[in-house]
Structure formats: structure tokens, C-alpha cells
Amino acid sequence: MSETKTHKIRDIFTEGPIAPAFIAESIAKHSTRHDIGAHEIFLGQVRADSTGGKFPAPTAAIEYTAYRDMANEQMIAIREEAFARWPITCLHVHHSQGVIKAGELCFFVFASSAHRQVAREAVAFVNDEVKKRLPIFGKEILEGGEHVWKKNV
């Protein structure tokens, strides 16, 4: 799939979990790009954490909400930085909104390049910047119904 270099606003948000079939389709779309030699993928999955202390029950799900307009604008900036730093062929980022159960996928970062090191570094960078810069909020719904607000550290 060709990537425009103008970095238009695109909506990274998907309602509900990211389906493994969607990931497979995304990979398949790149078979026409014969300049690609490496794909690097990061997948975030909701973990049944226990925060301990006052709320020892494990996380049953995370309900994600976002300031979508700002998040999508921030993603354009991150995308531009990634393309400026690494010769990647393309970059795709998707994040869930809504209730995502433990074991389901909520985050998908996919970069492709001629050689593996470039795609690997770009994905690690995008992953870190998304966590730091995108206004996405997570309500951890615990087994038993209590909730706590997740924050990235």
C-alpha cells in the first residue's frame, strides 16, 4: 500500500478491539511493494494487571477514550518525525476506542522498510511517542466492577 508523503489527517481510532484478521489483511496489502524487505509490527494487548493496594482485583477490560482531533494531529507530527529520521516505506498506526477486554488487541503499529533495522527503530520510536504524546485515556475496569484510571509511566 502506498503511503503519501503529505501526511494528511487520518483517523487512527478503531471502535472496539483490533481484529487479528485486520492485521493479516494489512500485511497482505504490502505484497505489491517489492522495495520492501522487512516488516516490523508491534501489538498492544490488554493485560489482566492487578494494581494491588485498595483494588487488588485484576483488570477485566480497559475502556479507552481519546481527544481524537488532538491525538490525530499529534500522530501526524510523530509520523513526520519518523519519516524524517528513517527511510521507511510506510507506517500504519491504529488504536482502539471503547471497551477492550483482557486478551484483546488495542494498539497496532506497523512499519515497513528495505532492511529490518530501520523498521524496527521506527516502530520503537512511534510506540514511545504515542504513549507520551497522544491524549488517550484508559479506564481500567476491574473484575468485580471497580475501576481505576490507567496512566503511562
> Given the rule CB under 8 A, which residues bind another protein?
44, 62, 64-67, 69-71, 73, 95, 107, 127, 130-139, 149-152
Helix 116-133 to helix 68-85 angle (10° resolution) is 150
The residue (of 34 and 54) whose beta carbon lies closer to another protein is 54
Compute the least distance from the CB of residue 64 to another protein, in Å. Answer: 7
| For another protein, the closer CB: 37 or 44 | 44
> Could you tell me the smallest distance in angstroms from the CB atom of residue 126 to another protein?
9
What's the closest the beta carbon of residue 44 comes to another protein, in angstroms? 6
Nearer to another protein, 3 or 73 (CB): 73
> Least CB distance from residue 23 to another protein, whole Å?
16
User: Whose Cβ is closer to another protein: residue 103's or residue 135's?
Assistant: 135
The CA-CA-CA angle for residues 66, 62, 142, to 5°, reads 140
Reference 13, options 61, 101, 73; nearest CA is 73
Closer to another protein by CB, 57 or 124: give it: 124
Q: Which of 37, 143, 127 is nearest to 88 (CA)?
A: 37
Q: Rounded to the nearest whole angstrom, what is the least distance from the CB of residue 65 to another protein in the complex?
A: 6
User: CA–CA separation, 134 vs 138, rounded Å?
Assistant: 12
Q: Give one DSSP letter per residue of 14-59, joined into a string.
A: EESPPPHHHHHHHHHGGGG-TT--EEEEEEEE----EEETTEEEEE
